[in-house]
Structure 1
């Protein structure tokens, strides 16, 4: 328990967090940067300094962990929930193909034709919802093809993401610490059963006929001659990818567009000068972090941090979306600003469990935006619709409605 815990923290609900977590976390940053939140059943780190302090700890005080809802969703062993030698082995399985030198080898040939293909479907219409028609499809198709899932439709990949997301963010607990909504895991269970049904034959094929797909490499790389990696090791990490990596580049792309639409002059500059796209992405993932509050750490011993008692085994949620709005580092953090002084943000995490796909995700977003702005340079916000956001674990615009002269 904490030594000081403002009474209002007990009144927060999961529904409020999903709709708009920012007011709640702004108060946390000011009044209780590390606090126990009953609705989540764990502590929350809300400032940039506190997140870096805990996530980046290398003194053995904290280890990587996922929330109970995350463990219920992914199973074990998931790379987010592993530590020590097990974590090193799982990262050795997933990391090689995501190193910048490797990504540079294939990403343009992978993502650019996909972006062009989706643009061709609506660029002559004069209007679109870019989330549904471009950002999410480009994101899931790029990672899906990299994994070797060309036979799975983009709509099915998006469906899997949504169902796993419902399960992963079903974090609410009752007074006894039990899940408040057990039925909230049903969509994720349905998705996982379907994923196994579709992937099992593919894994059978790659076992005897390896290729250059990511999942084929997961089976074979680092294994003794004639052996493949156990599927019960592979599947939890497939679920991690299909949630945390499958659609987040799309959400980062959507947030970049949405942010630029709030600053038409800055949008025009980026369209005129594509070299600014990377800068625009960096500000967007600070402004609306796609992985808003979905990673955690667990204390390995009894600790006291700034007067807050953390008994051994305490789970601390890293709220990177809140950290990226920390007023100590960012002036007017709720405003998108391409010209903001560049200060490193925590959109992709920190420490040993930082996101393995940071470079791949950013490059997919960059390529998608290059193609979009070249094809439709006169993009404007559709003033008949507002851009609504949703999500506490993963946050993004629900829609980005735009128009243009054809």
Structure 2
């Protein structure tokens, strides 16, 4: 029997929006993991419990879903006029890699709260009671996020009466502003990488689909639900248990990634599971959410279902909500048309767990669409804090 030991690393387990992740301060990581590379990736995979052929994450902190297989690193910001740098890693469940290609909008909420909890925000900027404006530099996509975090007695207020569909219990509301989210840091930087609001997307083995491909919040490929045989009212069990359906969605996602210039060959998509997202939209309809709550057509402007890491999301990814709000604000996109068309500054959409409202300020500049800001409300809460342990030979 070997005498291998475990090391322990200060960590905080947090819920942010409808996601959960393990949060670290950069300075608390082992030296080899304080820089990007294999050691950091191995650490995050071992913390989460990946790769796991059983898809259960029994031997780690993950929850075997895209919403719970996440790690975050925060540090004092290297950027002027920002408080913290926020780096996000999406850990694959069944493959040995960490995807650094995008942001998590839900955990952006927790990043603002954790920055205060972890002592990374100048105490002079934290009110005794009121709202602390945390200026976050999202290092994955080189963008600014502003988190308006409620503070009581100098500490983050976590409890409250704000209800978020997809989260069981109410909590305190945190308002997020995604500044200039109309590109994701990719080469080109255009909000519509193809130059079109709607494209004819050729998908091998499926045919040609109308698609809106947008880079706002996170690169996303939108298609019409009816074009792929759905209503837009589907829940997770309607899709995630069907391998053929999931394979078709992956074909659409790969075709979109190629058309958007995010990858050069279909094989590259295997190492880029986090982006782009694939989503389908439909006009409003009555449906029953996964909680059993009845959602009426009159409560929403449109229906949206989105996949993350190859599975239908139980609610909606925060970054994808930014893409939805932005696309809805641009007349003529599939999202805008599903919502009834015309100009709008906000949209309420139905997702598998309920509804969500997101606002966006879009305008045309020199013939190209851009968005200056997208806004939505989420909540965050510390679930556990202390140390996470991993075998010493992990890194």
| TM-score, scaled to structure 2 | 0.27
Q: In proportion to residue count, which structure has more strand?
A: 2
Q: In proportion to residue count, which structure has more helix?
A: 1
| TM-score, scaled to structure 1 | 0.26
Higher relative contact order structure (alpha carbons within 8 Å, sequence separation ≥ 6): 1
